[in-house]
Structure 1
């Protein structure tokens, strides 16, 4: 039996020294033995990235030029449609490979790929409906990241079943086509180590309540369900106008929300709605960097956590891939709105540890990752910190996580391990340079078109 040893490790019960972790043949943790033997690095559990659109990594930095009218999510979306119109399956694989390598360097060890770019540029399905899903699986396999694949059902252009717009044609399926896509996507990850599967009705803008029920019924036991909900004020207003209630209330009143569900964003959920989400045992998927970039608004995280709500974080549009930036932005948004400090920390406790552990636990639930943290039965997914890095000088335990999230300027994450294999060494993924060159060629071609 293989083993790894750490000078210090963050276990569910807290920090322990001289930790030996024993691994089985599948890269799962067979035993955790504190006070055993010393190691070189500090181990914290790898962070799940519960919401990614990998192809959007190729757009990073391209939407920061003001238009003639006021910019919003909706104007950003039009630019996104124009960009994706040029992407081939090979392009998607190339961009996803770079994004996943960057995620691993940033401390993410599993990605939930909310995958809706299914078809060819003219909207026709590929000969294999799951061609694009297979490209995502190939990128995950090449980089070594754990993948939870979430093929997306998308049928309409607005709440109430309005017709889609031309820019959405690559996303669209009817229920029969989606069922075929789901089965093909399951096959695409069948032999992928560490993979999990779930289903994702895109939103109430893209699927009716009745269609969401059908999609949910396609899920096998243990498979999670993800949906965008209440991200934008315009979306909430349309839901009230057409359905008579906001999106989260509509999902709750339809009896759809339970622990299988992850509500992405939920930015404009009301306090009563979010209390019911918490009571139902669902997870909210927060993407603070993207939500800031798009001007979505600020999720009421303090009230939600007070109600017992579970959350994880995701990189969504991948405009900036950073585990620490997602957690830091979440905390800072609460400080700004509440004019306080350490908003999401327990009284007398560490903000960094509270955020990291909550995101590990909520992300593991939302991505069907199995046991959360450095515990027996979990995958051996670790982020290793260098105790000699200046940001950790004269710090121990929780102070190190606080410094990682709020004071690190790079270099603090030395290694990342997934399923007991080292995938990042000295802070760099081995595929990064080649992936950057490949994506550079892709973007040069697309942007010259």
Structure 2
């Protein structure tokens, strides 16, 4: 890893198209095709690869039986629903959503362009992992050390038109930080962070375009002495967290949270409350104890229209996820700083969550650093436990617990909310684990047929 420089500018940059790759299909060796068709690559070059090329070769396609437009549109809407964890805004048929990657974009990145008339393209499952694999494969085949940016087209608030931005990064620093440095006039910079990977993605699109069948560009000139700055963070630094998002709430949500801040209970239950009632009602108890807990949930929800929000001092719903590794032999646990126990990842609901599963997926992504998780939509179970949480007063968490499976090759990243984050084998749970964790793991193993 090399240090990052505060000024990302280079004296000269070249942008070269990679011509002749042709139509890509699942299973094609994208790295080999790039090495074959690219201008002679050099150490420190940056390859800008359209996400569509990666999605096609990785088989991230929805294939329909025919080219009926109504069936295709119905499939597109279903795919958007499956890729969405939060609806940010909608108008008519347009939906701006947050995906499980943490990206906010139109239609969850589900794309019907530059694919066959009976196909739809989804975003790669883990764009950073795809970028790293492509980088390693090119090093093996071409003997050069390059950076890789996987790009996708996005709109911007308050700006017309689209531009390509980075959704996957490997081998270079995506975001440079000039805060604390002094400009030529002696002013100390306080907010300047530059999304270099986004600038590279947009530069590459100048030669790739949308109609020319050029899925890859080479950007040359960003390296120093043949080496790119690389902080090892991939694209994660480009995702703005919910705490820093000034535009996260819609008008109705902002009014609701404002009422909570001054101590008012919500007069009408939000849609998230209705989803919680539906989810808990549909859960089939496995024992008399489970049935009693389920009834307690329903009674509390009936009594408190504000039960979804942490400002509800008597108690409030939370959402958690037991994350299982791809081999289905271990679970990912976090050492919680407030309670001092090893727990599954999870946390409070937020006004932007439209379903309890949305809340669990968002919390799991934020606390595990895993950009893509496969969720079972039916909860594993329910739990009520006393706690002194961020309210600072004794309360109760009514926790709805889901099962998620991590993708191949994904590496968890510890968040600031955790003292530690590790994989533990099913039969080797750590000392200091919560007392109900073995039962939760047992339910997960049963759900997975293990």
TM-score band (shorter)?
Answer: under 0.3
Decide which structure has greater strand share: 2
**How does the TM-score come out when normalised to structure 1?**
0.24
Flag the structure with larger Rg. Answer: 2
Give the structure, 1 or 2, with the largest relative contact order (CA under 8 Å, sep 6 or more): 1
**How does the TM-score come out when normalised to structure 2?**
0.24
